Structure 1
Amino acid sequence: MRARALLPAAVAAALLTVTACGAGSGSESAGPGAGSGATASSATQEPTGSGGSGSGSGSGAAVSEALNFTATTVDGKPFDAKTLAGKPAVLWFWAPWCPKCKAQAAETAKVAAAHQGKVNVVGVAGLDTNTAMKDFVAGTSTGGFPHLSDEKGEVWKRFKVTEQSRYVILDKNGATVFEGVLPAGKGLAEKVAGLSG
């Protein structure tokens, strides 16, 4: 039995269209959904995109409502999205069993490394167990940036994400400037370069 079948019925219903594995096309969006605080998780790095050497909120940047949530990383560390404030951010929504997500991993890691310290990159894993999420991070060599363990789908709901292999890109003020699928991550570097200068 696949682990994703064990998700609570409420989460499964809220994310009903997720099983398409990112089959939809990319779309631009005006902004993330508002919601209450969430609990999720990340890999081994600080929430500074790809390097873990600082945070956007240290500069006294205003925090948008989109970044007003907490989570837990896949390795069990606390994560406060407010630390993303003041820099552009890429939220990559993925599931461990999704082949399209696996195909996006290398390009996402490359972009995170290239923009380290300028852009925050955060994976948001869902639709499976934390063990499967850890295995995905290790198997795809994407541990250079944080990954949130969103087993209950709270961060996914907050950003109105209904299918995995999606990106939500926020500007330095926390406003959504892109939301959609980028097959194999193609186009992600160009979108991020336009925000980071």
Structure 2
Amino acid sequence: MRARSYLPALLAATTLTLVGCGSDSGAGSGNPPAIDSASKSSAPAAPQSPASSSTTVPEALRFTGTTVDGKPFDGATLAGKPTVLWFWAPWCPKCKAQGPETAKVADQFKGEANVVGVAGLDKQAAMKDFVASAKVGGFPNLSDEAGDIWKKFEITQQSVYVILDKDGKTVFTGNLPAGKGLADKVSKLVG
């Protein structure tokens, strides 16, 4: 009986694993097309405090998780600022290549936007090792072993950014090789 409760998560993980490491977006690449309407949105940096009671939490930010360090995380803390969700896997070389630029953007827009990594497709120990080796510990990185947050945002492969404006509206979904262009997208949302 207990095995049945794990079946949906196992099937989702298997499906995500089969897509392999994401490739650059483009026709025939197997990646979903990038959606970019960043003219009105912005990207995030590490959250500093929970959303105030006067801030409405959009549906997109109604999720909870656990950081790779085992601390609880509530997506509601991201409300009111542009947010970048970076979906990555610890064994993915393209994800590792995105690390430096993602960390730079998180630092550059700290206090103005949120950046949160959402790790999947592996175990928490591997995720924690990736955070240390890729030097992306300056912003929250969630351990999404069950794939719940990935499913919420309809992510089917790693190496994908989802950028939300301050109201929680998705303004970009796609791959940015080595994170190039991320700073520009976030700048438009905070500026």
State the TM-score, normalizing by the size of structure 1. 0.81
Partners of 2:54 and 2:9 in 1: how far apart?
A: 39
Select the residue among 94, 100, 105 that pairs with 2:99.
105
Runs of 4+ off more than 3 Å: none
Could you give the per-residue CA deviations for residues 131-173 of structure 1, whole angstroms, max 9, x where no partner exists? 0000000001110000000001110000001110100000000
Deviation at 1:65, TM superposition (A): 0.8
Partners of 1:14 and 1:155 in 2: how far apart?
A: 15
Q: Does 1:182 align with 2:189?
A: no
Residue 15 of structure 1: aligned partner: 16
Partners of 1:154 and 1:183 in 2: how far apart?
A: 25
Aligned to 2:96, the other structure's residue is in SS state helix
Partners of 2:74 and 2:118 in 1: how far apart?
A: 13
Q: Does 1:161 align with 2:155?
A: yes
Can you give the 5+ residue segments of structure 1 that lack an aligned partner in the other structure? 1-6, 31-47
CA contact (8 A) 1:125 1:151 kept: yes
State the TM-score, normalizing by the size of structure 2. 0.84
Residue 85 of structure 1: aligned partner: 79
Residue 196 of structure 1: aligned partner: 190
CA contact (8 A) 1:59 1:86 kept: no
Residue 131 of structure 2: aligned partner: 137
Partners of 2:17 and 2:92 in 1: how far apart?
A: 15
CA contact (8 A) 1:53 1:117 kept: yes
Between the two proteins, the alignment pairs up a number of residues equal to 171
CA contact (8 A) 2:9 2:147 kept: no
Q: Does 1:67 align with 2:61?
A: yes
CA contact (8 A) 2:118 2:141 kept: yes
The percent of aligned pairs where both chains have the same amino acid is 61
Alpha carbon RMSD of aligned pairs, Å?
1.9
Can you give the 5+ residue segments of structure 2 that lack an aligned partner in the other structure? 1-7, 26-32, 38-43
Partners of 2:23 and 2:87 in 1: how far apart?
A: 14
Aligned to 1:15, the other structure's residue is in SS state helix
Q: Does 1:27 align with 2:34?
A: yes
Q: Which has the larger radius of gyration?
A: 2
Deviation at 1:61, TM superposition (A): 1.4
Structure 1 residue identity aligned to 2:72? P
